[in-house]
Amino acid sequence: MLPPYLSSIGATKGYIGFFMNINSLVLVFFVVIFGRFTSRIDQKKALFIGYLLFFISIISMFYFFDNLIMLLILRFVAAISFSFGYTMHSNIIFDIIPKEKRASSFALFGISGVMSNPVGSFIGELIIKRYHSKYLFILSAIFSAITIILVLFIKHKQKFQEFKEYLSFFDIIKRRQLLYLIVMALIFGGTFGIFASFIPNFSKERLGVANLSMFFIPFSIIIIFVRIFFSNLLDKHKKENIIFFSLFCMLAPMVGILFLSSKYQLLLMGGFYGISHGLLFPTLSTAFVNSGKESEKIILNNTFITVNTFGIVFFSTILGFVGDIFTTISIFITMSVLIFVLIVISLFKKKY
């Protein structure tokens, strides 16, 4: 809901694009630089401090609502909090859930993140219609305050382990056995970034009206449905079968959008992508974590988060230039080829 408001107070498209991706950029740098130390950090305290920092930065944004420079600075502060929250929450899940239940448990945990998008957008639209857009910051602050209170009730006794050497992000990505998973996580993140960034413009070119909700509403509904009713299958079925099926469901909408002629096609494509994302995200994250020792699970999870997030920013940026040189459709064609190559490779991949 922020881009239209930022545009109304004089922000350029470049400013808006950078502003909206600060969270992802800071998260990548956070894990790359500090990832090796996260196993020493008290997770509950980190969450509390992180959300408190977010609350302060959001309240400050309300007072500097028309100052683009201050909003950018405060966005960086809030992004630090985002990095703590994103990594620490999932680290706690992998810490308390038995290894054999990780995929299904993480799938259910992820529903909260999926629901935040439609719920936040819906409430945000009501705020904008009735009040000034600056009250979006107050809305965020309220949610942040609730979260701070909830953190106090977390009953998780973290097990601190001492190691002779703490692995870094670069130590992990150098592992040859992780190469295919890393490439898949990059393209998986890139697919989300491509859909979110370029469906509005492409739908406007083809249909005359920019439309993203027709894609992401069924996407969110299907993810929630899949994770509630099929999460247990993630622990029982072979990962290679789940990954192959998920990649196919990811390729279908990427190819289908090339033939976009009706907004209702977006509903079907969003549904297919919802199946893919609902299955692949928890499967991939668990594959990363289970690829190493139990003592490495935190840095392995942080590595997956970083690679996946970097894929969103990287492919959206690079293929954006491709779209400028050629046409918007070339973006989806390029991504379709990359996903197809992953599917072919997955046919020969025996174990993850």
Is residue 12 predicted with pLDDT exceeding 60?
yes
Asked if residue 204 belongs to a domain, the reply is yes
Closest CA to 320 of 161, 180, 137, 197: 197
The one-letter amino acid at 314: F
In this structure, of 227-241, 281-295, 299-313, the range with the lowest mean pLDDT score is 227-241
By the 8 A CB rule, do 260 and 203 touch?
Answer: yes
- Whole-number CA gyration radius for the chain: 20
In a domain, 125, yes or no: yes
Is residue 159 one of the residues assigned to a domain? Answer: no
For the chain, give the number of residues.
Answer: 352
Nearest CA to 300 out of 99, 12, 23 is that of 99
Give me the domain span that covers residue 311: 2-154+166-346
Q: What is the CATH number of the domain that holds 322?
A: 1.20.1250.20
Domain count, the chain: 1
The pair of structure tokens assigned to 198 is 């370029």
Contact criterion met (CB below 8 Å) for 288 and 175: no
Residue 75 counted as domain residue: yes
Give me the half-sphere count of Cα atoms (radius 13 Å) on the Cβ side of residue 45. 7
Question: pLDDT digits over 114-161, tens only?
Answer: 777 667 767 877 887 888 888 889 998 999 999 899 888 887 666 655
Question: Which residue's structure tokens are 């690079």?
Answer: 318
Q: Does residue 160 form part of some domain?
A: no
Q: Is residue 352 part of a domain?
A: no
267 confidence band (pLDDT: 50, 70, 90): very high
In a domain, 286, yes or no: yes
Give the model's pLDDT for residue 162: 56
Quote the distance between the C-alpha of residue 306 and its chain's center.
10
Residue 305 lies in a domain: yes
